Amino acid sequence: MSSRIASLLDHVRAHAENRPGVYRMLGPSSEVLYVGKSVRVRSRLLSYFRAEPGEKAADIIGHAHHVEWEHTPSEFAALLRELRLIKQHRPLYNVEHKRDRGHCFLHLTKEAVPRLHVVGRVNGASGDYYGPFHGPGAVSEVVRAVNDLLELRDCAADTPMRLADQGQLFPVKLEPLCMRGQLSRCLSPCAAGCTHAEYHARVTQARAFLEGNSDAPLVLLRERMALAARRLQFEYAAELRDRAERLEALRGWMVSLGRTMKRLSFVYTVPGYAGEDRVYILRRGSVRDERPAPRTPEEHEALAARVREVYERPEPETLGLKAHEAQEVMLIARWFHLHPEELEHGAAPGA
């Protein structure tokens, strides 16, 4: 063991306690190499010094020049703190939270003639975002199917639109600007193929489907499947069946996301180490505020006022999320999935 690592070990032995917390391994220039959490920080840190060569822990401690930690009141607090630190520092060794590339969102744009498309992250463009989903490839296929079935456009944002009710000084027969229009897979708002209201009726159907409130694309797909089978186009019918299965999977996911988001709206009291209890105000799966658990009548009143403020703030009831919220929502959903007994520490916002 090098003298550097031996002195890190002495430091941990002398100061770390066996209680929940987060720790950081820092490189020679104090850059954060790794962020971790544990319910027993001291034991976890000591385990790094026993790691066998070739193990990730041995690699991390081999590169560490400083070890820092902070104790938290509970495992839940450590979990949140770890996520926030990883987001802030994006440490080299934290591949788990860093790898966002496997996720994607559906974005229903807020343009005059909206589009539904897949984006890797919420990029600030206005509109509704749905997700996150795993597997951008499969999600792209589903979106293509929804666009084709509801005949929504999928061209570039700057494609010129000519709606039928737009009014033209010199009426001319327009041709759709791409094959989708010619193949009746798009209403062709670029070529006066529909009015503004007709197009927006389809956008409303797409939104209702994404919110889990409508089956319209599935119904259309099943009708086409039945027609293909009647025409003995079995290969095409099988392709449509596969598409329908993917659409159903997406709809199921949206419905369960909606239920989870609704369920994760409560005031969560977490008993803390040595009486450091904390209260988290959760709304739709993200922490909107947190503070030490109230002890005096004044603190109870202040908490109640804050809860009212958080819950009375108007919020769209869509399933849309911002990217920075998405991982926290997933983390919190996973926490209660793994610890369902913790739901007993929750109180309805008005309670």
Question: How many residues bind ligand SF4, per CB under 6 A?
Answer: 13
Q: Would residue 37 be called left, alpha or beta, if left means φ above 0 and alpha means ψ between -120 and 50 degrees? A: beta
* For ligand SF4, the closer CB: 152 or 332: 152
Closest CA to 154 of 180, 183, 126: 180
CA trace torsion 180, 182, 187, 192 (10° rounding): 130
* For ligand SF4, the closer CB: 155 or 319: 155
Burial class from Cβ neighbours inside 10 Å (0-12, 13-18, 19+) for residue 289 reads middle
In the numeric block, which tokens belong to residue 349? 């916002």
Stretch that binds ligand SF4, among 175-183, 204-212, 229-237, 265-273 (CB under 6 A): 175-183
Q: State how far the Cα of 296 lies from the Cα of 302, in Å rounded to an integer.
A: 10
* For ligand SF4, the closer CB: 142 or 186: 186
Minimum Å gap between C-beta 191 and ligand SF4 is: 6
Is the separation of the CB atoms in 162 and 192 below 8 Å? yes
Interface with ligand SF4 in residues 184-213 (CB under 6 A): 186, 188-190
Minimum Å gap between C-beta 151 and ligand SF4 is: 8
Stretch that binds ligand SF4, among 32-40, 69-77, 182-190, 267-275 (CB under 6 A): 182-190
Is the separation of the CB atoms in 302 and 345 below 8 Å? no
Contact residue for ligand SF4 among 109, 140, 159, 213 (CB under 6 A):
159
Contact residue for ligand SF4 among 86, 155, 307, 321 (CB under 6 A):
155
Minimum Å gap between C-beta 118 and ligand SF4 is: 16
Name the residue number minimizing CB distance to ligand SF4.
181
Going 261 to 120 to 240 to 205, the CA torsion angle's sign is: positive
Q: State how far the Cα of 265 lies from the Cα of 11, in Å rounded to an integer.
A: 42
Minimum Å gap between C-beta 228 and ligand SF4 is: 23
Q: State how far the Cα of 255 lies from the Cα of 258, in Å rounded to an integer.
A: 5
Binding mask 96-135 for ligand SF4 (x = CB under 6 A): ----------------------------------------
Closest CA to 346 of 336, 337, 239: 336
Binding mask 320-349 for ligand SF4 (x = CB under 6 A): ------------------------------
Residues that bind ligand SF4 (CB under 6 A): 153-155, 159, 176-178, 180-181, 186, 188-190
